[in-house]
Amino acid sequence: MKFFIDTAEIDEIRPLVELGLVDGVTTNPSLILKSGRDIIEVTKEICDLVDGPVSAEVAATDYETMVREAAVLYDIADNVCLKVPLTPDGLRTCKHFADQGKMVNVTLCFSASQALLAAKAGAAFISPFVGRHDDIGHDGMALIADIRTIYDNYDFKTEILVASTRHNMHILDSALIGADVATIPPKVVHQLFKHPLTDSGLAAFVKDWEKTGQTIA
């Protein structure tokens, strides 16, 4: 499963690149606002830092303006993946660029029927928001399982990019279901390392090693 990092904060992306845990990055208008950066500048910096797809989201909601904004965003770098909302104008924009062989990530997906529409529009990625589903008492991971079934039934090439992930179980369940990608906030990536038995086991090794009185290097 590919790990995309869900942030526009360069200082949070860089250490994860050094760990080999970054297959791409996703941003959105809220993450750009949080970064306090200019979208063009920060997207360029991220594209220079990361080899994989970097999702940059349109701000417009109408087709004509989305197409104009897309030209600006795609021009930033070859690994820019345009991000559009799951609306009729968004999917029209998706088809317009997918037909040209360009990557499009369709976001704000909350149903399997929406995901079916995005695949038919040629989306490279579909972004179902599992955390926001959970927030209203629905089962976000059940949505991922349904989309996986539908895409496999018809051999759709659109990759399932699990978004709005909030904790380890979202990542683990995404991998068990067979999602292609999870986009993960940096703090959740760091949580994946944590296990109390690893901590206690390492402390015991260190303590016992000290008792040997030996050094290796």
Q: How many residues bind ligand G3P (CB under 6 A)?
A: 10
* Length, in residues, of the chain: 217
Q: How far apart are CA 15 and CA 102, in angstroms?
A: 29
Residue 47 binds ligand G3P (CB under 6 A): no
Q: Identify residues 130-159 at the interface with ligand G3P (CB under 6 A).
A: 131-132
Active site residue 120: no
Q: Is the distance from CB of 165 to CB of 6 less than 8 angstroms?
A: yes
Of residues 9, 24, 28, 158, which one binds ligand G3P by CB under 6 A? 28
Q: Catalytic pick from 2, 34, 44, 83?
A: 83
Phi, psi of 170 (to 5 degrees): -60, -40
- 58 versus 155: smaller Cβ distance to ligand G3P: 58
Give the shortest CB-197-to-ligand G3P separation in angstroms.
29
Contact between 35 and ligand G3P by CB under 6 A: the answer reads: no
CA distances from 207 to 202, 210, 211 (A): 9, 5, 7
Distances (CA, A) of 192 to 61, 96, 104: 36, 38, 28
Query: Applying CB under 6 A, which residues contact ligand G3P?
Result: 6, 26, 28, 31, 129, 131-132, 163-164, 183
List, by residue number, the catalytic residues. Answer: 83
